[in-house]
Amino acid sequence: MRLSKDTYFNETNFEIVAINLFAAGTETTAITLAWGLLLMMRYPDIQVRQEIENVIGNERCPRYEDKKNMPYTNAVLHEIQRFGDVAPLNLLHQTSQDTTFQGYKIPKGTKVIPLLSSVLFDKTQWATPFEFNPAHFLDADGKFVKKDAFMPFSAGRRACLGETLAMMELFLYFTLLMQKFKFHPAPGVAVDQLDMSPSPGFTASPQPFQLCAEIH
């Protein structure tokens, strides 16, 4: 099917959207999983494995519908995304009309950079913003709680187009890895020696690291 050049949804636009979905989604998902493996090594007491055994077992692969029965794993995955802060500056936005925000006049066409880190590490929103703490997403009964300040995909009408797909991929990949393997630091490296600082760049990936995967 050939798309019309006279509409906004034309062939060029379609190609760019498709490229963005594959390129942006692949990189950010891979980086988030890298943060997940690093954090699981750094905090070996995180009990994701126990919930996986209780809900899924070892005989079948995880399914996305398992997520609703796995609040702890879901909380851990959300905390990985919050703490990893993979896209701290998000993507460049632009005002489509003259806007007033908190008393400031922002003219139409102004470039806007949404600093997501300011929300993901906000002391007023998180009990321990600079620590890895899955309890940020759990209530007193151990049920998963979604937080308004959880914005790794940005917010509003121009939030990440692939958020739903990314969350599905992350849950399936992360849960499968935790089901099949136990991860350890490389020989001679203590867990408290693992570097938690991000590598500078457009996306915030962890510093290069080595790991050992032990089959369960």
Binding site feature residues: 160
Write the single-letter amino acid at 113. Answer: I
DSSP 197: P
CB atoms within 10 A of CB 73: 27
| Distance, CA of 19 to CA of 21 (rounded, Å) | 5
* Residues annotated within a binding site for heme: 160
Q: Find the angle CA(78)-CA(25)-CA(40) to the nearest 5 degrees.
A: 35
Residue 158: φ, ψ to 5°: -110, 30
What is the length of the chain?
A: 216
Could you report how far apart the first and last alpha carbons of the chain are, in Å? 49
**12-38 core/surface letters (b: 16 or more CB in 10 A; e: else):** eeeeeeeeeeeebbeebbebbbbbbbb
User: Which token pair is 161?
Assistant: 């187009």
